[in-house]
Amino acid sequence: MSTLEATQAGSGRAERHTLPPALKIALLQIALLAVLLAAWELAIRFGWIAVYLYGRPSGIFAKAGILIANGELLRDAALTAWEAIAGFLLGTLLGSAVGLALWLFPTSAAVLRPYLIALNGLPKIALAPLIIVWFGIGISSKIAIAAIITFIVAVITAQQGAKEVDEDLVKLMRSLGASRWKTWRTVIIPGAMPWIVSAFRLNVGFALIGAVVGEYIASKEGLGYMIYYAGVLYDLNSVWVGIAALMAVALLMYGAIDILERRLRF
| Model confidence pLDDT, tens digit, residues 129-141 | 888 888 887 888 8
63 CA to centre of own chain: 26
Any alpha helices (H) in 70-188, and if so which ranges? 72-101, 106-121, 128-135, 139-163, 167-175, 180-183
pLDDT tier for residue 249 given thresholds of 50, 70 and 90: very high
185 CA to centre of own chain: 28
Task: State what percent of residues in the chain have pLDDT above 70.
Answer: 93
* Lowest-confidence region among 122-131, 156-165, 204-213: 122-131
Whole-number pLDDT of residue 17: 62
- Mean pLDDT, to the nearest integer, of 84-91? 94
Q: What number of residues does the chain have?
A: 266
Calculate ∠ Cα 21-27-33, nearest 5°: 135
Query: What pLDDT, in 10s, does the model give residues 223-236?
Result: 988 998 888 888 89
Closest CA to 100 of 160, 40, 142: 160
Whole-number pLDDT of residue 83: 93
Q: How far apart are CA 32 and CA 45, in angstroms?
A: 20
Q: How far apart are CA 79 and CA 94, in angstroms?
A: 22
Torsion of CA 61, 67, 68, 70, to 10 degrees: 140
pLDDT tier for residue 77 given thresholds of 50, 70 and 90: very high
The most confident of the ranges 11-25, 68-82, 127-141 is 68-82
Going from the C-alpha of 18 to that of each of 4, 15, 32, 236, the distances in angstroms are: 21, 5, 20, 42
The predicted model scores a pTM of: 0.82
Q: How far apart are CA 165 and CA 205, in angstroms?
A: 27
Going from the C-alpha of 112 to that of each of 105, 157, 199, the distances in angstroms are: 11, 14, 20
Q: Report helix angle 236-264 to 223-232, nearest 10.
A: 160
- Mean pLDDT, to the nearest integer, of 234-252? 92
206 pLDDT exceeds 70?
yes
Q: Find out whether 91 and 151 touch, Cβ atoms under 8 Å.
A: yes
Residues contacting 77, CB < 8 A, separation 6+? 223, 245, 248, 249
Whole-number pLDDT of residue 21: 82
20 pLDDT exceeds 90?
no
